[in-house]
Every structure is written in structure tokens, then in C-alpha cells.
């Protein structure tokens, strides 16, 4: 496990891969910093898949050298899926224990804590909060 709060994630990925980088890097937090990190983790002809959604007025900075190494960057809108078909399938996978969603939850909060949760999310903390009503 690489903890980006404790070490340089790009450098660690390069170290693990013998300095080569990865074929695919996925970003799911929606932070332009982690989108740029994905780019920095790639090997030649690698592909960064951006799943997270950043604020639409932000720009992602990527070093031009990656273009010479034929890096690719691709956005993803709900994984190019068909919600009517796929959501019931995801529910079935979750219920059967094959889709591990609970492990992705960083905290459960009440509605009164929603502003704090958004502030934490903006700082890269508590990225997956679930609101519990009642």
C-alpha cells in the first residue's frame, strides 16, 4: 500500500516498477494534483484514466515530456456504462460480496456534518463520506 500522505506516491510507484512506471494509473478523487500524479506514474505508452471529477474551472498540469513517451490521458464518465443495465448488476455484485464498497467508505456522518465533510474532501481527507439519516 502506498500512502501519499506519508511518501511521494509517484516516486514510490517508479521504485516498485524498477523505474519504468505503470501501464495504467487511475485517479478517483477528483483532485487535479492526483490527476497530475497519475501522469507521472506512467511508463512509455501508459494511460492515465481519470475517474474523479475536479472543479470544472481547474486545469490539470502535465509535463510535456510524457507526450514524447506517448502517454495517454482519458476521462471517464461513469465508466462509459449504461446505468439502467449496470446499476442492478452492481447491486447484485455488492450483495454477493464481490463488489467491496464498504471498504471504500472513509466515514459515516450525519447531515449536520456535511459542510465539514466537504471541507475535508477539499483537502483530500475523507474522500468517501456516507450520510446517515435519522
Boundaries of every domain in the chain: 9-79, 81-131
- The band of 118, judged by pLDDT with boundaries at 50, 70 and 90, is confident
- The band of 23, judged by pLDDT with boundaries at 50, 70 and 90, is very high
Write down the pTM of the prediction: 0.66
The 10s digit of each residue's pLDDT in 51-71 is 988 888 999 999 999 999 999
Question: Going by CATH, does the domain composed of 9-79 fall within 3.40.190.150?
Answer: no
- Residue bearing the bigger pLDDT, 77 or 130: 130
Q: Long-range CB contacts (< 8 A, 24+ apart) of 30-36?
A: 30/54, 31/124, 32/58, 32/59, 32/60, 32/61, 33/124, 34/4, 34/124, 35/60, 35/73, 36/60, 36/61, 36/62
Amino acid at each position: 500500500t502506498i500512502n501519499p500522505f506519508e511518501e511521494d506516491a509517484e516516486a514510490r510507484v517508479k521504485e516498485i516498477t524498477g523505474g519504468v512506471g505503470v501501464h495504467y494509473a487511475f485517479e478517483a478523487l477528483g483532485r487535479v494534483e492526483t490527476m497530475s500524479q497519475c501522469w507521472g506514474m506512467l511508463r512509455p505508452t501508459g494511460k492515465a484514466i481519470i475517474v474523479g471529477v475536479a472543479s470544472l474551472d481547474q486545469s490539470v498540469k502535465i509535463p510535456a515530456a510524457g507526450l514524447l513517451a506517448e502517454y495517454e490521458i482519458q476521462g471517464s464518465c461513469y465508466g462509459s456504462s449504461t446505468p439502467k443495465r449496470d446499476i442492478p448488476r452492481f447491486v447484485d455484485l455488492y450483495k454477493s460480496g464481490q463488489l467491496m464498497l464498504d471498504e471504500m467508505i472513509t466515514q459515516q456522518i450525519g447531515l449536520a456534518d456535511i459542510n465539514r465533510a466537504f471541507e475535508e474532501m477539499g483537502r483530500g481527507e475523507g474522500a468517501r463520506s456516507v450520510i446517515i439519516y435519522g
